[in-house]
């Protein structure tokens, strides 16, 4: 596995990749290099999804998942330099959102601005008890530009999202859970372990099935119900001729755990 300057990539367990944002000295703030590193990592997942079955995304240290863009690096940037950097971030977010492999975000602390936007690219979020969230861009004279105005309303509803976006006020893990943005609150010292435990369950299921389910849900949310139902059937029919479908039925009848191969 390639070594990256700002991100650690580890094969934490069978079929599971642990991706750790690794700039703890600056609350894992995202500079240009981190954008480039994450872009390469997630494009790799998109190109070769069969190499892994689940991804866990977290931050180094105990204080922050990601504090957003590195504003010290951005200080003094020309408009052109700012937009060139943001184009990298845009491509990275699209690669993360387009990743066919299930992603679990383990938010281990503050997830502000772009940090929250990165976590919203995951299929679901586990959060440490002390985690806090915010989209603070409006307080800086900008706005979310990495999916925040689109993914947040889909997670918490339009009216709640507008309040969060227009005020820039932070909210805690319990609020995030109550509003449906977070799936589980964990003790800080068990957060990643719990995320990996769930990842192991996902990785133990048929990988083509999990990818088709993810794609079906994501596509269905962006179209009308009739079209979504048609897409679901097309996704379902892709699974019928697979060896994994046959193995699943055999294992059920033989009262054993299936050994899925991803084919």
pTM, rounded to two decimals? 0.93
Domains in the chain: boundaries: 7-203, 206-253
Residue 49 has pLDDT above 80, yes or no: no
Residues 150 and 201: their CA atoms lie apart, in Å, by 29
Per-residue pLDDT reduced to its tens digit, 4-32 = 999 999 998 989 999 999 999 999 999 99
Q: 222: helix, coil or strand? A: coil
Mean pLDDT of 79-97: 94
Average pLDDT over residues 48-77: 91
241-254: average pLDDT: 92
Encode pLDDT of 140-194 as tens digits: 999 999 999 999 999 999 999 999 999 999 999 999 999 999 999 999 999 999 9
Distance CA 57, CA 17 (A): 8
Q: Which residue shows structure tokens 């969230």?
A: 133
Write down the pLDDT at residue 262. 84
Average pLDDT over residues 46-57: 89
pLDDT at 77: 87
Q: Can you tell me the distance from the alpha carbon of 184 to that of 106, in angstroms, rounded to the nearest whole number?
A: 10
Note the CATH number of domain 7-203: 3.90.226.10
Give the pLDDT confidence score for residue 12 in this predicted structure.
86
The whole-number average pLDDT for the span 96-103 is 96
User: 206-253 architecture in CATH?
Assistant: Orthogonal Bundle (1.10)
pLDDT band at residue 1 under the 50/70/90 scheme: low
Say if 7-203 and 206-253 have the same CATH topology: no
Q: What is the mean pLDDT of the chain?
A: 94
77: Cβ contacts below 8 Å, ≥ 6 apart: 85
pLDDT per residue as tens digits for the range 102-143 = 999 999 999 999 999 999 999 999 999 999 999 999 999 999
CA 122, CA 125: separation in Å to the nearest integer? Answer: 7
% of the chain exceeding 90 in pLDDT = 88
Q: Looking at residue 98, what is its pLDDT?
A: 94
Three-class secondary structure of residue 168 per DSSP: coil
Phi, psi of 81 (to 5 degrees): -65, -40
- The SS3 of residue 2 is coil
Q: In angstroms, rounded to a whole number, what is the distance separating the alpha carbons of residues 36 and 246?
A: 41
Cβ-Cβ contacts under 8 Å for 74 (sequence gap 6 or more): 82, 85
User: Per-residue pLDDT averaged across 32-60, rounded?
Assistant: 93
Predicted local distance difference test score (pLDDT) of residue 162: 98
Q: Read out DSSP for 15-65? A: TEEEEEE--GGGTT-B-HHHHHHHHHHHHHHHH-GGG-SEEEEEESSSSEE
């Amino acid at each position: 596995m390639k070594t990256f300057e700002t991100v650690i990539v580890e094969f934490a367990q069978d079929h599971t990749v642990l991706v750790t944002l690794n700039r703890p000295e600056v609350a894992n703030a995202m500079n240009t290099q981190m954008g480039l590193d994450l872009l390469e990592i997630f494009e790799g997942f998109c190109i070769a999804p069969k190499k892994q079955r689940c991804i866990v995304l977290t931050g180094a240290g105990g204080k922050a998942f990601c504090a957003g863009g590195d504003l010290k690096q951005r200080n003094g940037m020309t408009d052109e330099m700012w937009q060139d950097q943001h184009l990298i971030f845009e491509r990275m977010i699209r690669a993360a959102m387009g990743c066919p492999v299930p992603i679990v975000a383990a938010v281990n602390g503050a997830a502000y601005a772009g940090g929250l936007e990165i976590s919203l690219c995951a299929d679901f979020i586990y959060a440490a008890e002390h985690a806090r969230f915010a989209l603070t861009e409006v307080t800086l004279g900008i706005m979310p530009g990495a999916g925040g105005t689109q993914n947040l309303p889909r997670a918490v509803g339009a009216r709640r999202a507008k309040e969060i976006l227009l005020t820039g006020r932070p909210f805690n893990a319990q609020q995030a859970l109550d509003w449906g943005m977070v799936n589980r609150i964990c003790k800080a010292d068990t957060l990643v372990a719990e995320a990996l435990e769930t990842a192991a369950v996902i990785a133990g299921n048929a990988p083509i099935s999990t990818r088709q389910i993810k794609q079906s849900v994501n596509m269905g949310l962006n179209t009308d119900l009739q079209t979504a139902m048609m897409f679901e059937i097309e996704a379902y029919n892709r699974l019928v001729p697979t060896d994994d479908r046959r193995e699943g039925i055999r294992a059920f009848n033989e009262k054993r755990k299936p050994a899925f191969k991803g084919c």
